[in-house]
Homo-oligomer: A and B are copies of this chain.
Amino acid sequence: MSQSERFPPSRYGQAERHMAESLVELERRILSEEETEECDCKEGMFNGLTRRGLLAGGLALSGAAISGGRARAEAPPGAIEYPVQPDSTKEQGRIILDDGGYGSRSQFENEVRWRYPTASLDSSWSMTPLAAGHGIITPSGLHFERHHGGIPAIDPRTHALILHGMVDQPIRFTMDDLKRLPAVSRMHFIECSGNGLTEWVQPTLKTVQGTHGLTSTSEWTGVRLSTVLEMAGIQDGAAWILAEGADAAVMTRSVPIDKAMDDAILAYAQNGEALRPEQGYPLRLLLPGYEGNTHIKWLRRLEVSDKPFMTREETSKYTDLMPDGSARQFSLEMDAKSVITFPSGAMKLPRAGYYEITGLAWSGRGAISSVEVSADGGETWHEAELEGPILPMCHTRFRLPWTWTGEEAVLQSRAVDDTGYIQPTLQELVEVRGTKSVYHLNAIQSWHIAASGEVTNVHA
């Protein structure tokens, strides 16, 4: 049986079939048979390729003598020029555990969070470099931040959570107490409701980190809030819970008791280790799908009541001014949203040809059921592939193969969640909400591709 019979292309899905059709456009590094034979100097152990040629940076160098990867021969006319590939096999590597037992990233990696230029450094935010992301997990070191009074340094040995108010028995939990209770781990996004606030009227920030970088996904572990509420015994008439942080802003938000009893988590771990300080170490509230500011960090107190507490963060702040002068309050659930992260703003496509469009979609109301992509500003749509696991209130990665013709294009993505909600255009959103809302901009994002390949943030 031939290999093409054993591995028919149909086994490998739309992306690969498209890939095969687009081979001409992809700038491959094909080594001709002639080049392969030229450099087969019989000094290596492997068929048709010498060790010397390999180390020098590829067969195009035609078997010329190379010294430790530093010198290189003159390439023959027409050969592809490769950078010299140093030979890492000729040098003993760094020894194990010279990092002290907790590793860090490569010296060649330098993606960082970007701080929005707020006037104050004490109350500010920094954004995840979404264009550099992969899969759905956000590295903990690149999780977006939003602080209202800086990042406290809290010793977990003295930290405690007080649960009181309309309960049969107030309880004080140390961190050790909480860690003895039944735990759950869940992958969830957290999105700041201010994500995109610069983009209501004009396309403003240049990159997807600026327009959408206030959302991140982690695997969170902790105790169900319902577990400790059951221990304390909720009294009749209880309807809201106040959550209070131990930061200098004493962040406080009111949470409906139904949410608290449903899927809320008292989280002490993130991506397999303790919460990061910027994410509320040693304890934060996790309210899957709710706007980020309600996931109170450095959590120290929960008070059960029959009414919301009307804190500053739900009266002055984090409300949405409507066109008629009224304000939406407790707009807690994040609406379905998506964004293309490649290609995205400030990139430049080197040439026409094959590209894989990819991005993220999420909804505060459940799982993503589909994402469609348009390359013509919303006139025609193509269903993207969703990558599993597709989890509720979690980033979902989508992918779609695309051949760019070299002409102008406008790329958009549109998410649909499992409640049937369809991500709106900016025009549709503004018709309902006006432009004074500040928060909860979840409109379709447009990226313009110029004939030069330059990608820019546009309203289309």
Contacts and interface: CB of A to CB of B under 8 A. Distances in A.
Contacts of A59: 162, 170, 172
A101 B113 contact: yes
- Of A99, A183, A273, the most chain B CB neighbours within 10 A belong to A273
A125 to B, nearest CB: 7
Nearest to A104: B141
Given A29-B171, A29-B173, A36-B164, A137 B389 contact: no
Given A96-B121, A106-B276, A164-B48, A172 B31 contact: yes
Given A105-B273, A106-B282, A9 B230 contact: yes
Identical copies of this chain, number: 2
Interface string A310-352: 0000000000000000000000000000000000000000000
Interface residues on A, range: 35 or more
A248 B96 CA distance: 14
Contact of A106 (B87, B89, B277): B277
Interface string A132-145: 11111111111101
Interface stretch (A149-157, A199-207, A376-384, A417-425): A149-157
Interface stretch (A234-242, A407-415, A437-445, A446-454): A234-242
Interface in A260-314: 261, 268-269, 271-278, 281-282, 298, 300-301, 303, 305
A48 B169 CA distance: 11
A28 B106 contact: no
Contacts of A172: 29, 31, 58-60, 82
Nearest to A85: B158
B238 A108 contact: no
Contacts of A121: 95-97
Contacts of A113: 97, 101-103
17 contacts: A16-B224, A16-B226, A19-B227, A20-B230, A28-B231, A31-B170, A36-B170, A46-B165, A49-B301, A91-B248, A96-B126, A101-B112, A103-B113, A107-B153, A134-B272, A135-B221, A187-B389
